[in-house]
Structure 1
Amino acid sequence: MTDFTAARINMVESQVRCNAVTDLRLIAAMADVPRENFVPEVRRGVAYMDEDLRLTDAGQGEARYLMEPRAFAKLAQLAEISESDRVLDIGCATGYSTAVLARLAQSVIGLEESEELAGAARSALGELQIANASIVTGKLREGWAKDAPYDVIFFNGSVQVEPAALFDQLAEGGRLAVIMGEGATAQGHVFVKSNGVVSGRAAFDAIVHPLPGFAIEESFVF
């Protein structure tokens, strides 16, 4: 049987700390939240591997993944989440990211398109008795305007285009953390709203699977 506690400690030491993640609150959260609770039972033995972990099987729609620990940790650190922040977690899937971010923020809303994944997220969060997080369903690219503005908007996967449509859901001083690009050219970015203007910067390289709804639309050339 897998020793999940040992695997979790090894993940933190070999994938998180050694990759310039120094936020002690984030490190503690990732060392405490049982990642194996958020993956299908047949894949729990590889819950702590150092790459994206597929959550859905063929026939379950567009493939969805749990973002690799290194990229997740670096992106979460980039968002600089404080105890007073309200967070929108886009593409929360089975809720692992929501659970970790809930340890850092005042409250977290996990947004998911798949009813099946959203149900799994609610169940996992309930089992861990995480009271400051909730799961909603809707189109990822639309965000969740109902409860905006947010201090942090966090993306669980890469996007091909700048998610400018969601900048309106950021509070003044808010941060949007996302991995932009494809393959080896992708980078973790943070966008900050200051005096109503949003500006961004790239911070690190990362290769993660894309989120649905954020691809560049193909156009016909005549």
Structure 2
Amino acid sequence: IRIAAGADGSRYLMEASPLAKLIQLAEINPTDSVLDVGCGTGYASAILSRLAGSVVALENDSALAETARSTLSSLGCGNVTVVQGALPQGHAAKAPYDVIFIGGSVAEVPAPLLDQLAEGGRLVAVEGQGNSGVARLFFKAGGVVTGRRAFNAAIKPLPGFERIRAFEF
């Protein structure tokens, strides 16, 4: 479902099945601090708020951020803070996070997000675009982040995470 069209591209609500599978993959605990990257209207943030101790809902679009604030407030999600900023940069001010959830497909997970994982933290994301996306679970142990393939998923891309094309011979 398309929720917005901005200068950086269209934004979509993730379908229920891949959303549920990604949330399950993250194995969220009641004490976890979660960063929801690209929260949009706050749909995933509302679900995450019922599973985690606290949620930082990051959104780059001011209109979507305001919608998320209003929606989450009306739902009584008092453990969610909506912040505005560049999605690939995360929100270092409240890091580290036990879980980072990326709400759309990305070409690859940027280093600043991986750097914001707590020891023992998990990041879930779909890498790739179109019908060739792969859900991945990244885990930080001993200061090192490793990732594994979880399942195939075709979800809409999150603007701002496109691969930068470089000239090659």
* TM band (smaller chain): over 0.9
Q: List gaps (5 residues or longer) in structure 1.
A: 1-52
Q: Which has the larger radius of gyration?
A: 1
DSSP 3-state at the match of 2:162: coil
Q: Report what 1:68 is aligned to.
A: 15
Superimposed CA distance per residue, residues 166-217 of structure 1 (whole angstroms, 9 cap, x where no aligned partner): 1110000000000011222211100000010111001111100111111110
Relative to its length, the structure with more strand (as a share) is: 2
Other structure's SS at 1:56 match: strand
> How many residues align structurally?
168
Query: Which of 117, 122, 132 is residue 185 of structure 1 equivalent to?
Result: 132
> Over aligned residues, Cα RMSD in angstroms?
1.1
Counterpart AA for 1:156 = G
Moved over 4 A (4+): none
2:43 maps to 1:96:
yes
Query: TM-score by structure 2 length?
Result: 0.96
After the TM superposition, which residues 13-162 of structure 1 pair with which residues of structure 2 at under 5 Å, given as runs?
53-57=1-5, 60-61=6-7, 62-162=9-109
Q: Give the aligned residue type for 1:195.
A: G
**Which blocks of at least 5 consecutive residues in structure 2 are unaligned?**
none
Which residue number in structure 2 is paired with residue 7 of structure 1?
Answer: none
1:218 equivalent among 153, 157, 165: 165
Match for residue 48 of structure 1? none
Q: Percent of aligned positions with the same letter in both sequences? A: 51
TM-fit CA distance, 1:143: 0.2
Q: How is 1:163-178 mapped onto 2 (pairs within 5 angstroms)?
A: 163-178=110-125
**Aligned to 2:112, what secondary structure does the other structure show?**
helix
Using the size of structure 1 for normalisation, the TM-score is 0.74
Q: Which amino acid aligns with 2:159?
A: P
Superposed displacement of residue 220, structure 1: 2.8
Shift of 1:164: 2.7
Structure 2 CA distance for aligned equivalents of residues 108 and 175 of structure 1: 14
The structure with the largest helix share of the pair is 1
Where 1:81 maps in the other structure, the secondary structure is: coil
Answer 1 or 2: higher relative contact order, Cα 8 Å, separation at least 6: 2
The aligned amino acid for 1:154 is F
